[in-house]
Amino acid sequence: MRLLLVNPNMTVAMTDKMAAIARKIAGSRAEIVPLTAQRGFPYIASRAEAQIAGGIALEMIAENLDGIDAVVIAAFGDPGLAGARELFDLPVVGMAEAAVMTAAMLGERFSVVTFSPLMTPWYSDCVEDTGLASRFTGVCTPETRAVDVTRVVTDLRGDLVDLANQAVREDGADVVILGGAPLAGLAPEIADDVPAIVIDPISAAVAQAMTLASLQVQFAGRTCKPAAKSSVGLSPALAEIIATETVQ
Protein backbone atom coordinates (compact mmCIF):
# COMPACT_ATOMS: atom_id res chain seq x y z
CA MET A 1 0.00 0.00 0.00
CA ARG A 2 1.28 3.48 -0.84
CA LEU A 3 0.16 6.57 1.05
CA LEU A 4 0.62 10.07 -0.29
CA LEU A 5 1.54 12.39 2.59
CA VAL A 6 0.72 15.84 1.26
CA ASN A 7 2.14 18.67 3.34
CA PRO A 8 0.41 21.79 2.01
CA ASN A 9 2.96 23.86 3.96
CA MET A 10 6.33 24.64 2.32
CA THR A 11 8.51 23.65 5.27
CA VAL A 12 10.50 20.56 4.31
CA ALA A 13 11.70 19.92 7.85
CA MET A 14 8.09 19.59 8.92
CA THR A 15 7.39 17.11 6.13
CA ASP A 16 10.46 15.10 7.10
CA LYS A 17 9.37 14.94 10.70
CA MET A 18 5.85 13.89 9.82
CA ALA A 19 7.08 11.35 7.27
CA ALA A 20 9.28 9.76 9.92
CA ILE A 21 6.33 9.40 12.27
CA ALA A 22 4.19 8.14 9.42
CA ARG A 23 6.74 5.48 8.56
CA LYS A 24 6.82 4.33 12.14
CA ILE A 25 3.04 3.95 12.19
CA ALA A 26 2.92 2.37 8.73
CA GLY A 27 5.70 -0.14 9.38
CA SER A 28 5.70 -2.68 6.61
CA ARG A 29 2.03 -2.09 5.78
CA ALA A 30 2.52 0.95 3.60
CA GLU A 31 5.09 2.99 1.80
CA ILE A 32 4.95 6.69 2.64
CA VAL A 33 5.31 9.11 -0.28
CA PRO A 34 5.89 12.55 1.23
CA LEU A 35 5.33 15.78 -0.68
CA THR A 36 6.03 19.36 0.37
CA ALA A 37 4.20 22.30 -1.20
CA GLN A 38 6.34 24.21 -3.69
CA ARG A 39 4.27 27.34 -3.33
CA GLY A 40 2.00 28.84 -0.74
CA PHE A 41 3.15 29.40 2.85
CA PRO A 42 5.84 28.22 5.23
CA TYR A 43 3.13 27.43 7.76
CA ILE A 44 -0.63 27.80 7.22
CA ALA A 45 -2.33 29.49 10.14
CA SER A 46 -5.58 31.01 8.93
CA ARG A 47 -8.66 30.42 6.82
CA ALA A 48 -7.33 32.70 4.07
CA GLU A 49 -4.10 30.72 3.88
CA ALA A 50 -6.02 27.45 4.01
CA GLN A 51 -8.20 28.58 1.10
CA ILE A 52 -5.14 28.98 -1.09
CA ALA A 53 -3.19 26.03 0.26
CA GLY A 54 -6.22 23.79 -0.16
CA GLY A 55 -6.16 24.45 -3.89
CA ILE A 56 -2.44 23.70 -3.92
CA ALA A 57 -3.14 20.44 -2.08
CA LEU A 58 -5.62 19.40 -4.78
CA GLU A 59 -2.95 19.94 -7.41
CA MET A 60 -0.34 18.06 -5.41
CA ILE A 61 -2.68 15.10 -5.09
CA ALA A 62 -3.73 15.13 -8.75
CA GLU A 63 -0.13 15.15 -9.92
CA ASN A 64 0.91 12.25 -7.75
CA LEU A 65 -2.04 9.88 -7.74
CA ASP A 66 -0.34 7.17 -9.72
CA GLY A 67 -0.06 3.99 -7.67
CA ILE A 68 -1.41 5.65 -4.54
CA ASP A 69 -3.95 3.90 -2.29
CA ALA A 70 -4.85 6.71 0.09
CA VAL A 71 -3.99 10.33 0.78
CA VAL A 72 -3.16 12.16 4.02
CA ILE A 73 -3.45 15.93 4.00
CA ALA A 74 -0.75 16.61 6.53
CA ALA A 75 -1.87 19.87 8.09
CA PHE A 76 -4.18 20.27 11.05
CA GLY A 77 -7.09 22.27 9.67
CA ASP A 78 -7.37 19.93 6.68
CA PRO A 79 -6.92 22.36 3.76
CA GLY A 80 -8.66 21.06 0.66
CA LEU A 81 -10.16 18.01 2.35
CA ALA A 82 -13.83 18.34 1.32
CA GLY A 83 -12.94 19.03 -2.29
CA ALA A 84 -10.38 16.25 -2.47
CA ARG A 85 -12.79 13.72 -1.04
CA GLU A 86 -15.40 14.67 -3.58
CA LEU A 87 -13.01 14.60 -6.52
CA PHE A 88 -10.64 11.68 -6.10
CA ASP A 89 -11.68 8.03 -6.17
CA LEU A 90 -9.67 6.95 -3.14
CA PRO A 91 -9.65 7.66 0.60
CA VAL A 92 -8.45 11.10 1.62
CA VAL A 93 -8.03 11.98 5.30
CA GLY A 94 -7.12 15.18 7.09
CA MET A 95 -5.06 15.41 10.26
CA ALA A 96 -7.72 17.27 12.23
CA GLU A 97 -10.64 15.16 11.12
CA ALA A 98 -8.78 11.89 11.60
CA ALA A 99 -7.67 12.97 15.08
CA VAL A 100 -11.21 13.99 16.00
CA MET A 101 -12.83 10.77 14.75
CA THR A 102 -10.15 8.71 16.46
CA ALA A 103 -10.63 10.66 19.69
CA ALA A 104 -14.35 10.01 19.48
CA MET A 105 -13.66 6.25 19.47
CA LEU A 106 -11.33 6.43 22.47
CA GLY A 107 -13.29 8.69 24.83
CA GLU A 108 -16.33 10.83 25.31
CA ARG A 109 -15.14 14.45 25.11
CA PHE A 110 -12.02 15.75 23.42
CA SER A 111 -9.98 18.93 23.63
CA VAL A 112 -7.52 20.40 21.15
CA VAL A 113 -4.35 21.79 22.72
CA THR A 114 -2.14 23.86 20.45
CA PHE A 115 0.70 26.36 20.60
CA SER A 116 -0.81 29.76 19.76
CA PRO A 117 -4.14 31.59 20.04
CA LEU A 118 -3.65 32.55 16.41
CA MET A 119 -4.75 29.03 15.47
CA THR A 120 -7.92 28.98 17.58
CA PRO A 121 -10.55 30.33 15.14
CA TRP A 122 -9.45 28.14 12.23
CA TYR A 123 -9.06 25.01 14.35
CA SER A 124 -12.43 25.58 16.04
CA ASP A 125 -14.15 25.94 12.68
CA CYS A 126 -12.46 22.82 11.47
CA VAL A 127 -13.59 20.72 14.44
CA GLU A 128 -17.12 22.07 14.17
CA ASP A 129 -17.17 21.13 10.48
CA THR A 130 -16.74 17.48 11.48
CA GLY A 131 -20.16 17.65 13.16
CA LEU A 132 -18.77 16.64 16.55
CA ALA A 133 -19.02 20.04 18.29
CA SER A 134 -21.19 18.52 21.01
CA ARG A 135 -18.26 16.39 22.17
CA PHE A 136 -15.61 19.12 21.79
CA THR A 137 -14.47 21.02 24.89
CA GLY A 138 -12.60 23.71 22.94
CA VAL A 139 -9.14 24.78 21.86
CA CYS A 140 -6.63 25.53 24.65
CA THR A 141 -3.51 27.60 23.92
CA PRO A 142 -0.83 29.63 25.67
CA GLU A 143 -1.46 33.38 25.54
CA THR A 144 1.53 34.39 23.45
CA ARG A 145 0.75 34.89 19.79
CA ALA A 146 4.29 35.24 18.46
CA VAL A 147 5.84 31.80 18.25
CA ASP A 148 8.69 30.10 16.44
CA VAL A 149 7.02 26.97 15.07
CA THR A 150 10.33 25.13 14.93
CA ARG A 151 10.79 25.48 18.67
CA VAL A 152 7.32 25.20 20.18
CA VAL A 153 7.78 21.55 21.09
CA THR A 154 10.68 22.41 23.36
CA ASP A 155 9.89 25.98 24.39
CA LEU A 156 6.24 25.40 25.26
CA ARG A 157 6.33 21.82 26.45
CA GLY A 158 5.52 22.69 30.05
CA ASP A 159 2.75 25.06 29.01
CA LEU A 160 1.20 22.44 26.75
CA VAL A 161 1.23 19.84 29.52
CA ASP A 162 -0.44 22.34 31.84
CA LEU A 163 -3.06 23.17 29.23
CA ALA A 164 -3.78 19.50 28.65
CA ASN A 165 -4.25 18.99 32.39
CA GLN A 166 -6.55 21.97 32.53
CA ALA A 167 -8.59 20.64 29.59
CA VAL A 168 -9.06 17.39 31.51
CA ARG A 169 -9.70 18.76 34.99
CA GLU A 170 -11.67 21.89 34.19
CA ASP A 171 -13.29 21.23 30.83
CA GLY A 172 -14.00 17.53 31.27
CA ALA A 173 -12.01 16.21 28.31
CA ASP A 174 -10.98 12.56 28.46
CA VAL A 175 -9.00 12.75 25.21
CA VAL A 176 -6.54 15.50 24.30
CA ILE A 177 -5.50 16.13 20.69
CA LEU A 178 -2.20 17.94 20.22
CA GLY A 179 -3.14 20.04 17.19
CA GLY A 180 -0.79 21.46 14.59
CA ALA A 181 2.07 19.97 12.58
CA PRO A 182 4.71 21.63 14.83
CA LEU A 183 3.52 19.37 17.68
CA ALA A 184 3.82 16.18 15.62
CA GLY A 185 5.28 13.42 17.72
CA LEU A 186 4.89 15.16 21.07
CA ALA A 187 1.93 13.06 22.23
CA PRO A 188 3.79 9.94 23.38
CA GLU A 189 6.41 12.09 25.11
CA ILE A 190 3.92 13.82 27.40
CA ALA A 191 1.41 10.98 27.78
CA ASP A 192 2.66 10.20 31.28
CA ASP A 193 2.01 13.77 32.38
CA VAL A 194 -1.59 14.02 31.17
CA PRO A 195 -4.47 12.21 32.94
CA ALA A 196 -6.23 11.40 29.68
CA ILE A 197 -5.56 9.77 26.35
CA VAL A 198 -3.31 11.97 24.19
CA ILE A 199 -3.55 11.84 20.41
CA ASP A 200 -0.87 12.62 17.81
CA PRO A 201 -2.81 13.74 14.74
CA ILE A 202 -0.29 12.68 12.11
CA SER A 203 -0.23 9.18 13.60
CA ALA A 204 -4.01 9.11 13.70
CA ALA A 205 -4.25 10.35 10.11
CA VAL A 206 -1.79 7.80 8.74
CA ALA A 207 -3.49 4.99 10.64
CA GLN A 208 -6.91 6.06 9.42
CA ALA A 209 -5.72 6.38 5.81
CA MET A 210 -4.50 2.78 5.92
CA THR A 211 -7.74 1.71 7.58
CA LEU A 212 -9.92 3.30 4.93
CA ALA A 213 -7.77 1.88 2.14
CA SER A 214 -7.95 -1.58 3.67
CA LEU A 215 -11.75 -1.56 3.53
CA GLN A 216 -11.63 -1.48 -0.27
CA VAL A 217 -14.91 0.37 -0.61
CA GLN A 218 -15.97 1.24 -4.12
CA PHE A 219 -15.64 4.90 -5.17
CA ALA A 220 -16.71 4.47 -8.79
CA GLY A 221 -20.26 5.47 -9.60
CA ARG A 222 -20.78 7.85 -6.69
CA THR A 223 -23.48 10.36 -7.63
CA CYS A 224 -21.89 12.89 -5.30
CA LYS A 225 -19.03 13.40 -7.74
CA PRO A 226 -19.01 16.69 -9.64
CA ALA A 227 -19.94 16.57 -13.33
CA ALA A 228 -17.07 16.89 -15.79
CA LYS A 229 -15.92 20.46 -16.20
CA SER A 230 -13.50 22.39 -18.39
CA SER A 231 -11.05 24.70 -16.68
CA VAL A 232 -8.34 27.28 -17.29
CA GLY A 233 -5.06 27.71 -15.49
CA LEU A 234 -5.07 24.59 -13.35
CA SER A 235 -2.17 22.18 -13.30
CA PRO A 236 -2.69 19.71 -16.19
CA ALA A 237 -3.20 16.68 -13.97
CA LEU A 238 -5.89 18.35 -11.91
CA ALA A 239 -7.54 19.84 -14.99
CA GLU A 240 -7.74 16.41 -16.56
CA ILE A 241 -9.36 14.80 -13.55
CA ILE A 242 -11.93 17.58 -13.33
CA ALA A 243 -12.62 17.26 -17.05
CA THR A 244 -13.24 13.53 -16.93
CA GLU A 245 -16.81 12.37 -17.06
CA THR A 246 -17.65 9.70 -14.56
CA VAL A 247 -20.40 7.24 -15.35
CA GLN A 248 -23.52 7.81 -13.30
Does position 182 interact with its own copies (CB under 8 A)? The reply is no
DSSP state of 131: T
Does position 49 interact with its own copies (CB under 8 A)? The reply is yes
Backbone angles phi, psi at 62, to 5 degrees: -60, -35
Residues 72-101 that bind its own copies (CB under 8 A): 80, 82-87, 91, 93, 97-98, 101
Among 33, 65, 104, 237, binds its own copies (CB under 8 A): 104
Residues 20-39 that bind its own copies (CB under 8 A): 25, 29, 38-39
Residues 134-153 that bind its own copies (CB under 8 A): 134-135, 145-146
Among 13, 16, 229, 236, binds its own copies (CB under 8 A): 229
# residues near its own copies by CB under 8 A? 96
**Using CA atoms, how far apart are residues 122 and 120, in angstroms rounded to an integer?**
6
Q: Closest Cα partner for 77 from 115, 106, 51, 110?
A: 51
Residues 195/166, Cβ–Cβ less than 8 Å: no
How many C-beta neighbours within 10 Å does residue 152 have? 20
Does position 211 interact with its own copies (CB under 8 A)? The reply is yes
Residues 123/115, Cβ–Cβ less than 8 Å: no
Does position 185 interact with its own copies (CB under 8 A)? The reply is no
